[in-house]
Amino acid sequence: MLNIVLFGPPGAGKGTQSEKLIERYKLIHLSTGDIFRANIKGETELGLLAKSYMDKGQLVPDEVTINMLKDAVSKHQNPNGFIFDGFPRTNKQAAALDAFLEEMNTSITAMISLDVEEVELRARLANRAKDSGRPDDADPKVIQNRIDVYKNETAPVKEFYAAQNKWIKIDGFGSIQDITTRLFATVDSL
Ligand code: AMP
């Protein structure tokens, strides 16, 4: 199986690039943010809980997020592999994912980080807010909180994969096509 963690700050282009990867490598895309948003839309209990954190730009608690992710993975029989988008966001989530994949006799192939400067991120998020319909993209205070949470809690997750020699950084600056080309070259070399 080819299991990729696509990593990077909010606005780095993880969702956009995931689309390209699933098409080329026939992988299953699991975005915890998308699953939370679907639950909010469906007005489930999980959605209600997640919304209270997401609206503030905070992380949904690990326990809840990990269980939800495991459920989502388990729904697929004999997949080619997964793209984890927006997960893991804490070291606890990363350790839980490793243990869970081991039970399935598989593992993470690589974590690929999209490296984008903060000024560029803010510009992309402001632009995305125009048509994403995401309330967390529209409020500058919430955006700031998401960037801070990324720096403090999520960025250290790369060390988790670096320690396993699985961390690869690629330049996330340029056109969507430029970044896709770099990403494909990286995945082809795995
Ligand atoms: P995203 O769509 O990845 O930008 O995620 C949007 C929001 O969903 C985040 O700001 C968090 O509130 C929540 N979220 C998504 N993934 C996770 C995760 N792995 N752990 C905790 N919260 C998450």
Q: Which of 62, 87, 66 is nearest to 3 (CA)?
A: 87
Mean pLDDT over all residues of the chain? Answer: 95
Q: What are phi and psi of 105, to 5 degrees?
A: 60, 35
DSSP for 84-129, written as a single string:
EES---SHHHHHHHHHHHHHTT----EEEEEE--HHHHHHHHHHHH
* pLDDT per residue as tens digits for the range 116-155: 998 998 888 888 888 888 888 888 899 899 999 999 999 9
Out of 6, 52, 56, 89, mutate this one to test ligand 1's pocket (max ligand atoms within 8 Å of CB): namely 89
Whether 59 contacts 89, CB under 8 Å = yes
Q: Is the minimum distance from the CB of 32 to ligand 1 under 6 angstroms? A: yes
* pLDDT per residue as tens digits for the range 9-51: 988 999 999 999 999 999 999 999 999 999 999 999 999 999 9
